[in-house]
A and B are shown apart, each in its own frame.
Chain A
Amino acid sequence: MADELKDIVLNYVTKEYLEDDSEPLTYDTPLISGGIVDSFSMVSLKRFLENKYAIAIPDAEATPEAFDSVNKIAALVQRFAAKKG
C-alpha cells in the first residue's frame, strides 16, 4: 500500500499544484517549505486525502511540517488509516 499511496499523493500534488513546465516532484521534494504548496492550498490536499481514504485528519495534525513532502504525507495518512482499521 505504501508505494501506491505515495504515487497517488504525488500524482495529486503534481496535478493540483504544478504548472506544466515545472520540475517533476520526488517523494522528498519539500512542498510547503519549498514554496510549491502554500499553506492555504493544503486545504484541498487534506480534503482529498480524507475523502480518498475515509479518514479524518484533525487540524492540529495537519501542520505544514506534516504535509511537507510526499513521504511525510503518506506516513500521516497511514497512521490515521491504521487507527481507523
Chain B
Amino acid sequence: MAYSDKIRGTYQAQIKGIQDAGLFKEERFIHSPQAADIEVEFPAGSPLKKVINMCANNYLGLSSHPEVVKAAHEGLESRGYGMSSVRFICGTQDIHRELEHRLTEFLGTEDTLLFPSCMDANAGVFEAVLTKDDVIISDRLVHASLVDGIRLCSAMHDTIKHSDMGHLEEKLQLHAGKRFKLVVTDGVFSMDGDTAKLDEMVALCEKYDAMLLVDESHASGFIGKTGRGTHEKCGVVGKMDVITTTFGKALGGASGGCVSGRRELVELCRQRARPYLFSNTIAPVVVAGVLKVMDIISRSTERRDKLEKNAAYWRKGLTGAGFVLREGDTPIVPVMFFNAKLAQDFSRALYDEGIYAIGFFFPVVAQSQARIRTQISAGHEIHHLDKALDAFTKVGKKFDILGKTKQEIIAKYGM
C-alpha cells in the first residue's frame, strides 16, 4: 500500500487541470446496437434518449447487419468463443488464415497478417522491418497510432507538411544516404476527411527508391470504385508496399486490424512484431464476422455507392445552410467552429435536438481548429440526414454562425 495522499493528490490535480481546461472527455452510454438510430443514456443516470448517430465509423452500416450478426453466431458455434493463445502458439484457426487470404486479394497485395487492432499493427510494423540505418518520412497529420509505432522503432524519423509533395521530394533528397526510406501517410485523414495523393507519392517513391506505407483505416471498404481503398481511387493498386487497416470501422466495426503488403515485410512482422507475438489472437467470432463482411462488399458495391451519395447529399446540405466545412469528398465531413467551447456547446445543443455528433478540439486537432466531425454511413437514410440538417440549421441560427466566414466566427467566439 503505497498510494499515499501525495500521490493521489498529484493525480487529482492533473484530472482537475484537464477539467478546468475544458478538455475532459465523458463517455455516453449507448443501450442499443450500433446503427443510425441509437438509444443513449447521457449524462449518466438520465433516461434513455433516441438520437441519430452522426459520428460513428460505421461507414458501410455493417456493424449490426443481420448477415454479419448471423455469421458471427455461426462462428461462435463452430469455432468457439476464445482461443486462449497468441497466434503462433495455438491461436491460429483455419479461418484466421482464410481471412488473411481474402484481405490480400481485396487489397491487391502479396500477403497479410492479422493483428488485434490496427493500433497494434501500426505499433508493430516499423520496428519489425526497419533499423537505425533507415529513415521514416511521415505526413504531419498521420494518425496517433502511426506516431506511436514510429516512436518504438530505432529508425530516424522526419516529417513533411500535410500532403505537400514538394516538401516530400525535398526530404527524400535530404535523406538519400539512408539504407532504406519509408514514406508514411494515412489514406484518408481522420480529422479532415481529405485523401492522400497516393499516385504522386508512388511516383516520388519510385524516383527516390523509397517504400510507401499507407494506413487505410478510414478508407478500406468504401474509397475507390469497388471500395478497395485510397490506392484504388488513385489508380495505384499493387504499388503499395505496406497497407495497414482496421476491421473496427467500415469492415464490421468490431475489432482487429492487419498489416498487408510485400511478402517479406509481412513475414518479418510474423516473426518480430511485438503486438503480434505478445497479444492474443483475434476472437473467432470476429473473424467469422469480418469474413461475411468481405462477402458482402465483394458481391456488390451497393453499400459504398449509397454511402457516396449520402455523403454528397450531406455535404451539399451543410454548405447550403451556411456552415464552414473542410473540403473533401469522403464520408468524413468536418464542420468547423474553430473555438473549442463553441464546438462543445454546439454538440450539446445538437444532442437536445436528437442528434449525436461530438466536438473535437486541441490536442486531438490543432489549436483554433475545433470542429464537429460528422461521419456519414450507408446505414443513414435521407430522412436521417434531413432531420440532422434541420437540427444543425436550427442550432446554427441560435449561435448565429450560418453564412459566417472563419474570420467572422473567430471574431464572434474567439480562437
Contact = CB atoms under 8 A, between A and B. Distances in A.
Interface of A: 17, 19, 35, 38, 40-41, 43-44, 47
B131 interface: no
A35 B366 CA distance: 9
B159 A38 contact: yes
Given A35-B366, A40-B138, A43-B157, 15 more contacts: A17-B161, A40-B147, A40-B150, A40-B157, A40-B158, A40-B159, A41-B158, A41-B159, A43-B156, A43-B158, A44-B158, A44-B159, A44-B171, A44-B174, A47-B174
Interface of B: 138, 140, 147, 150, 156-159, 161, 171, 174, 366-367
B295 to A, nearest CB: 41
Specify which of B147, B159, B171, B366 lies most central, judged by the most chain A CB atoms within 10 Å of its CB.
B159
A47 B174 CA distance: 9
Contacts of B150: 40
Contacts of A17: 161
A35 B157 CA distance: 17
Contacts of A40: 138, 147, 150, 157-159
Nearest to B161: A19
A41 B150 CA distance: 13
Nearest to B151: A40
Contacts of B158: 40-41, 43-44
Contacts of A41: 140, 158-159
Contacts of A44: 158-159, 171, 174
Contacts of B138: 40
Nearest to A19: B161
Nearest to B174: A47
Nearest to B135: A43
Nearest to B167: A16
B130 to A, nearest CB: 15
Nearest to B157: A40
B369 to A, nearest CB: 11
Contacts of B366: 35
